[in-house]
Structure 1
Amino acid sequence: MKKRYLVTGLGFLTALVLINWIQVSEESALVRSARLHCSQEPELRVDNHNQGHSRPKYFDSIDTDLRPWKDGGITKSSLSAARKKGSMRMVISQGKLYIEVYGKCPQSRSIFTAWGLLLLLERFPGKVPDVDFVLNCKDRPVITRYSSFHSRDLCQDEAPAVFSYCTTNDMLDIPFPDFSFWGWPEVDIPPWEEQSQQITAGSREVKWSERRPAAFWKGNSRMGKLRSHLLQCQSLETEILDQDWISESRAGFPNSRLSQQCKDRFNIYVEGAAWSASLKYRMACGSTMLNVESKYREFFSAGLIPNLTHLAISANPDTMCQEIQAAVKWGNSHPLEAEAIGRHGQDFITKELTMDHVYRYMLELISQYAKLQRFTPTIPHGAQILCKDAIKHLAHTATNF
């Protein structure tokens, strides 16, 4: 029997159908479903999300991320150049979402990202401006800062503007909330709203002072050199467990409950081949986070403050293990300070990275991006309108055949 998690009106889609969803053609099941179930008439809703919200400090990074286009704006030619780098084009016109797919996304990332945009439109009716942007759904960013201006067809101030799940100091990609906030069925992780509550509840089962006085990491060690180096850090103070997701999936994910991985005082985060979506899950435990220096940053990374929300560990493979051991030793010798760091990290994740904040970040980012457009967005030829009913119909079909 397939598991189904009912969250925000959508069955938690199984990987059975969605892994290859991105291979969309004109006559695909999704397109046919969208044509049957998506009306061109606007849906009227009441916005119940306008009152009593905070604006986390990391929202300020939107200005920094959009600064390359502040003077010249985002033009048709830069959008065309972005299309060559991204995976799909998203157009919002009069409160409707249109999608043009021309690249391949891993697993079911594209459909969960599209689902998030549909929920954004539903959450803020009439407030999301008309916009035309390109999304890259791969792990790594794609727009190099210093080579983006050297195309014959682009002026210096017409760098491609691409939304990605992460960026770096050397890249121009604009960070955008990743797919896992709405679900990651391939590894049996429900949407963030549900998952964060489960992890927080699990963290209350064992007080920080009563947890094992060691550091813990569990994940796929084959994702990047840094993780393979982490295997060498195994010691009495550090437990490193390699996760075989293929075997775990076949067994029904019996050992992957994130809410049951809050038994240690210290938790290690290390990025994989690129950014890893696991940071928010680890920090929700309330363990003292040992954050191995990251090259990649997410949209909320500016809110992470060393010695307040986490302890910083160098990514130098020659010193990483020693620094982890030293951090564990310090934390066990200074339990009040170490516990406070874990609590601050958990508070940041549970209070400033709620789904309400995620949607508000999306709204502010898209609104600021739209102001930089030097053209009026139009529905591109070949783009398909997308709606919740089409995706729910597809999910219902997938879980009942």
Structure 2
Amino acid sequence: MCLTLLMGISIIFLLLPCEPVLTLMIDPKLCEVWGPGLSASDIVMPARYFFIQAVDVSGTKLTLSPGEVFTVEISGTSGARVCRVWVNVLDRRDGSFIVRYKVYNSCVDFRIQITHQGEHVADSPYAVTGTVNGEECLCPVESMSTWLKQYGCPSSYSQIDSDLNKFTAVNFTSLRSGLIKRYDHPGSMSICNYVIKDSQIHRKCYGQHVGFKMFVDAILLSLARKVRLPDMEFFFNLGDWPLVKAEQGHRDPVFAWCGSDDTDDIVVPTYDLTEATLECMGRVTLDMLSVQGNTDVPWRDRAEKAFWRGRDSRRERLQLIEIARKHPHLFNASLTNFFFFRDQEADYGPKEKHISFFRFFDYKYVINIDGTVAAYRLPYLLAGGSLVLKQESKYYEFFYKSLEPWKHYVPFSQDLGDLVQRVSWAKQHDARAEAIAGEGRRFAQEHLLPQHVFCYHAVLLHEWSRRVESPVSVLEGMEPVPQPHSDCPCAREASRPHTEL
């Protein structure tokens, strides 16, 4: 957790008498206070962030918000102009703050100032040596191994190990035509064949509905601006349903956003979480940082009901409405749209208007129930600090197998048979429910923030490239996926010869 990182800086700054003592903790990987061997250009994210934790005069961390006590200013120069930086301070309402900021062009003389009532906190101001580059700067680190270490990525993930264990050597020369034949079904499946050669991205897609390739393109392009990607080839499933049937006998190397107990797709972070990472402080409003800074109701004041909103994408969601109507003192659950069961709208409607996702956390308990596959909202539910009630399911995302029932969430059966019992238990065991909610939020903080999404993609691609034994070349009919125009000074360095360490 970033608030207790050993690598962080923890210094107490004593304010005026009778005022709180403030501890500033900053993670070098996230806020660009770099450690040995790192430079400003090594670590770039669309929105960067660091954390501030307030403590009382005895050194105990505050658990409630002290209010808007910090002022954060970030400055620099870009040629003859002032560096353009957008800063946003998010109050997590538990005594800690997220400071996130977006750099729009390459900056030098970069300084981060954090003050309280005009006085600098801890070692503020923090000066950054070197150039701080914007997200669209094409400034890749030459070695993937070096970049992974510099970025603070783990050497492995259990889900990646599990997914890739069946692939020791992959020869697309012999596999490719069979893969295309099995999955080129335009009415029901959409896949893309990707080739990365000399850190340039190329693809050919199959199917009627291939618009979601934009999410794959975006994360690959973003990574390629940060680190020179190794040569590789892979297929990507653009649909929600995993495709590789475990019993079919084929070891098909297909990447997907969702996995299941009866399929063998190689799982990556969902398009939703990936877009939220790439567009943080951009065109999306819901991301893993904003959800933590917009839950302004403390646990003790949240309503003691289980909350849910969503569309009718699974029969169990209709069952949830039936349960909620029988137990209105325990549930606030409604459908917002009818598509799959339009003929039953009269029974399960009327439709409720959409409400802000942030308002879900006005309730102590939130329900995660499958849609067409896994409900991709689980990362945000965990981050909101309410107790997550999660349906048991065969579907999973890239992080599910690291979650522990009764530690990070409370499980309920797939048929919803014990859901009422679970909500009643939570009401009767408020302290325990709050503790589980806190553990769920901690899990999100440690595994699901933007840095973690980048790391997972990078580690997977790094490991996958080692398994591709067939020659990697751009195939006939493939189209290039170009980088956006960049006038950063280091853009020319991307063409340097690559040496893997």
User: TM-score with structure 2 length normalisation?
Assistant: 0.59
Q: Which runs of 4+ in 1 moved over 6 A?
A: 189-193
SS at match of 2:258: coil
Tell me the distance in 1 between the aligned counterparts of 2:307 and 2:270: 25
Question: Which residue does 1:395 correspond to in 2?
Answer: none
2:248 to 114, 133, 147: 147
Contact 1:180 1:192 (8 Å CA) reproduced? no
Alignment of 1:28-107 (within 5 A): 43-46=138-141, 50-51=149-150, 53=152, 55=154, 59-70=157-168, 73-84=170-181, 85=183, 87-105=191-209
C-alpha displacement at 1:100, in angstroms?
1.1
**Residue equivalent to 1:231:** 321
CA–CA separation in structure 1 for the residues paired with 2:338 and 2:450: 27
Deviations 1:26-81 (A, max 9, x none): xxxxxxxxxxxxxxxx9544588743625398x211111112223x5344222333
Larger relative contact order (CA 8 Å, sep ≥ 6): 1
What amino acid does structure 2 have at the position aligned with 1:212?
A
Deviations 1:168-217 (A, max 9, x none): 12111111122112438xxxx977896222211122x1111210011011
For residues 92-147 of structure 1, the C-alpha deviation after alignment (integer angstroms, 9 at most, x for no partner) is 111111121222337x4221221111111112x22x21111110111101110111
* Bigger-Rg structure (1/2): 2
| Letter matched to residue 179 of structure 1 | Y
CA drift of 1:224 comes to: 1.6
- Give the Cα separation in 2 of the matches to 1:260 and 1:212: 11
Structure 1 match to 2:87: none
The residue that corresponds to 1:367 in the other structure is 462
For the pair 1:377 / 2:472, whether they are aligned, the reply is yes
Query: What secondary structure does 1:101 align onto?
Result: strand
2:339 matches 1:242: no
Q: CA deviation at 1:372?
A: 1.5
SS in 1 for 2:322: helix
Structure 2: where are the runs of 5+ without partners?
1-44, 48-136, 184-189, 340-351, 486-501
More displaced, 88-97 or 75-84?
75-84
Q: Is the 8 A contact 2:336 2:354 kept in 1?
A: no
**Letter in structure 1 aligned against 2:198:** Q
1:271 maps to 2:370: yes
Q: 1:178 aligns with which of 237, 249, 270?
A: 270
Q: CA separation in 1, counterparts of 2:464 and 2:396?
A: 19
Q: Which has the higher helix share?
A: 1
Q: 1:111 aligns with which of 214, 218, 224?
A: 214
Q: Where does residue 208 of structure 1 map in the other structure? A: 299
How many angstroms apart in 2 are the aligned matches of 1:181 and 1:81?
31
Give the secondary structure class of the aligned counterpart of 1:372. Answer: coil
Are the equivalent residues in 2 in contact too, given 1:112–1:183 (CA < 8 A)?
Answer: yes
2:289 alignment counterpart: 197
CA shift digits 1:289-336 (9 cap, x unpaired): 00001211111111211011101111024x1xxx22222222222211
Matched residues in 2 for 1:347 and 1:208: separation?
15
Contact 2:155–2:459 (CA under 8 A) maintained in structure 1: no
Q: Partners of 2:452 and 2:284 in 1: how far apart?
A: 12
SS in 1 for 2:427: helix
- Aligned partner of residue 361 in structure 2, secondary structure: coil
| TM-score, normalisation: structure 1 | 0.73
Q: Which residue of 2 aligns with 1:281?
A: 380
Identity between Structure 1 and Structure 2 (%): 22
Does the aligned pair in 1 maintain the 2:148–2:458 contact within 8 Å? no
| Counterpart residue type for residue 65 of structure 1 | D
Q: Which secondary structure does the structure 1 equivalent of 2:259 belong to?
A: coil
CA distance in 2, matches of 1:352, 1:305: 13
Alignment of 1:322-361 (within 5 A): 323-361=418-456
Q: Does 1:8 align with 2:46?
A: yes
Change (3 A) 1:54 1:336: farther
Q: What is the distance in 2 between the residues matched to 1:193 and 1:371?
A: 37
State the alpha-carbon separation in 2 of the partners of residues 315 and 191 from structure 1.
Answer: 35
Q: Find the aligned partners of 1:238 and 1:55 in 2 and give their Cα distance.
A: 40
1:330 is paired with a residue of what secondary structure?
helix
- 1:141-178 C-alpha deviation (Å, 9 max, x unpaired): 111011143xxxxxxxxx21100111112111111122
Contact 2:153 2:455 in 1 (8 A): no
- What CA distance in whole angstroms lies between the structure 2 residues aligned with 1:63 and 1:299? 12
Q: CA deviation at 1:260?
A: 2.2
Equivalent pair of 2:164/2:266 in contact (CA under 8 Å): yes
